[in-house]
């Protein structure tokens, strides 16, 4: 029998199998230590589809648990409309859900959960956010609710850590909700209520000066996730294959990296497809398995993934991507794109910015751009045959 496929594209990596991102994880550890010691520090996590943001948050969750903090992970996916009141409710409901989970696991007393259920927030607009039908202790705002929550937890936990996935919605309406979170953290700092907030997503919070969001970087300095290095890819593959008793040779590893460029989703999908070609007699992943997987990998696995970057883009964005795909060089400047499209730079700049945010293209230091993956080039050219 062949062991179950250890590669699962599209799902977060188990924290025990997590590799790379060493500097970014150390930054999280440092900010958590600061918060525990009374100097609140937060960060953000940015990057395109499939780059590993969710896996990074789950690793941060494991680190927070090691430090006896209370990590609260949740996603804002599909929440197109979010107000301050809704965000406050989501945060407090997720705290209660996490505490309830800890009560079930007998890590936290049920008395603490009962105390949390009594908290009711009265917002600036006079709206009362009630989280339970029981008798309530009314507090004036979110920071007061978090402070009251901490009073119940401070004897058994070191901090509260909010890990917010798919947090792009926070930046809408001129990043009003990100500014709101910053204001909440500033008030929590006055009382030294140890709360860290880590929003993650395809965020423009990382944009250059002048985008409107740069001041927020002081509160949520970004960890910008990029492709794995060759060594990181190798470590990931070795760890996964070792767990199922499979080997892989150096030449095969080089081939894998050449094809995938170390992009986490593409890497995992390529390995998952090749692994499915193993037979019960195999004890090593070989080049022949990848050759057998190539056609299926491109047509069945990557086509839906690349579709979101190209087919689901607007007409102007697709034109830009096509021009980049047919360009003789890997990189192209904004002026070069402007000349090819016969449009002014200011006409295409907003579309370029959106494509960078989505992860379809990468901005290089020299002010040039390239498609995020060479296989995306092949996909675009094939779509335009």
* 61 and 177 inside one domain: yes
Q: What is the pLDDT of residues 104-135, one digit of tens each?
A: 777 777 777 777 777 776 655 554 555 554 54
Q: What is the pLDDT of residues 312-332, one digit of tens each?
A: 999 999 999 999 999 878 899
Q: How many Å apart are CA 159 and CA 348, to the nearest integer?
A: 45
Whether 209 shows a pLDDT value over 50: the answer reads no
Q: Could you tell me how many helices (H) and strands (E) the chain has, helices first?
A: 15, 13
Show the tokens assigned to 236.
């990931």
Same domain, residue pair 274 and 376: no
pLDDT attached to residue 305: 93
Find the DSSP H helices in the chain: 22-36, 53-66, 84-104, 110-116, 142-153, 172-190, 230-242, 250-260, 264-275, 287-296, 303-307, 315-326, 334-341, 345-358, 374-383
What whole-number distance in Å separates Cα of residue 302 and Cα of residue 107?
A: 43
Are 101 and 249 in the same domain?
no
Task: Quote the domain boundaries for residue 301.
Answer: 230-306
C-alpha count within 13 angstroms, C-beta hemisphere, residue 23: 6
Residues 81 and 161 in one domain: yes
Range with the poorest average pLDDT among 26-30, 216-220, 250-254, 262-266 = 216-220
What is the C-alpha to C-alpha distance for residues 375 and 377, in angstroms, rounded to an integer?
Answer: 5
- State the chain's maximal CA–CA distance in angstroms: 69
Residue 241: per-residue pLDDT: 95
In tens, the pLDDT along 30-58 reads 999 999 999 999 999 998 899 999 999 99
Nearest to 362 by CA among 46, 66, 96, 54: 46
* pTM, two decimal places: 0.89
Specify the pLDDT at position 72: 97
Percent of the chain scoring above 90 in pLDDT: 61
The whole-angstrom separation of Cα 119 and Cα 128 is 11
- Among the three residues 172, 204, 224, which one is the final residue of a domain in this structure? 224
Is residue 50 domain-shared with residue 153, that is, in the same domain?
A: yes
Q: Residue 52 gets which letter from DSSP?
A: S
Residue 78: which pLDDT band, with cuts at 50, 70 and 90?
Answer: confident
Q: What is the C-alpha to C-alpha distance for residues 310 and 218, in angstroms, rounded to an integer?
A: 33
326 strand-pairing partners: none
Residues 247 and 331 grouped into a single domain: no
Per the structure, the count of domains in the chain is: 3
Q: What is the pLDDT of residue 139?
A: 59
């Amino acid at each position: 029998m062949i062991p179950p496929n250890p590669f699962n594209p599209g799902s977060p990596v188990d924290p025990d199998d997590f590799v790379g991102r060493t500097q970014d994880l150390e930054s999280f550890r440092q900010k958590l230590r600061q918060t525990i010691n009374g100097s609140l520090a937060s960060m953000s996590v940015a990057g395109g589809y499939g780059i590993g943001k969710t896996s990074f948050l789950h690793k941060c969750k494991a680190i927070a648990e090691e430090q006896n903090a209370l990590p609260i992970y949740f996603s804002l996916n599909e929440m197109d409309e979010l107000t301050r009141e809704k965000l406050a409710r989501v945060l407090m409901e997720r705290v209660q859900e996490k505490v309830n989970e800890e009560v079930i696991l007998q890590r936290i007393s049920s008395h603490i959960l009962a105390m949390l259920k009594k908290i009711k927030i009265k917002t600036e607009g006079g709206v009362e956010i009630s989280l339970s039908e029981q008798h309530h202790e009314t507090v004036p705002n979110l920071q007061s609710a978090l402070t009251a929550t901490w009073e119940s937890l401070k004897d058994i936990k070191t901090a509260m850590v909010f890990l917010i996935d798919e947090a792009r919605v926070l930046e809408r309406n001129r990043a009003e909700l990100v500014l709101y979170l910053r204001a909440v953290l500033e008030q929590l700092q006055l009382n030294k209520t140890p709360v860290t907030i880590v929003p993650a997503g395809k965020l423009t919070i990382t944009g250059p000066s002048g985008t409107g969001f740069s001041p927020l970087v002081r509160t949520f300095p970004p960890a910008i996730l990029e492709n794995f290095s060759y060594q990181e890819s190798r470590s990931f593959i070795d760890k996964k294959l070792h767990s199922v008793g499979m080997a892989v040779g150096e030449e095969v590893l080089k081939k894998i990296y050449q094809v995938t460029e170390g992009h986490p989703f593409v890497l995992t999908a390529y390995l998952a497809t090749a692994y499915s070609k193993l037979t019960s007699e195999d004890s090593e992943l070989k080049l022949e398995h990848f050759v057998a997987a190539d056609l299926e990998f491109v047509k069945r696995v990557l086509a839906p993934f690349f579709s979101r970057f190209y087919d689901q883009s607007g007409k102007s964005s697709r034109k830009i991507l096509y021009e980049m795909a047919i360009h003789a060089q890997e990189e192209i400047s904004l002026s070069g794109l402007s000349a090819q499209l016969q449009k002014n730079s200011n006409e295409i700049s907003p579309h370029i910015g959106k494509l960078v945010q989505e992860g379809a293209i990468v901005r290089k230091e020299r002010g040039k751009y390239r498609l995020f993956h060479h296989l995306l080039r092949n996909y675009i050219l094939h779509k335009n045959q």
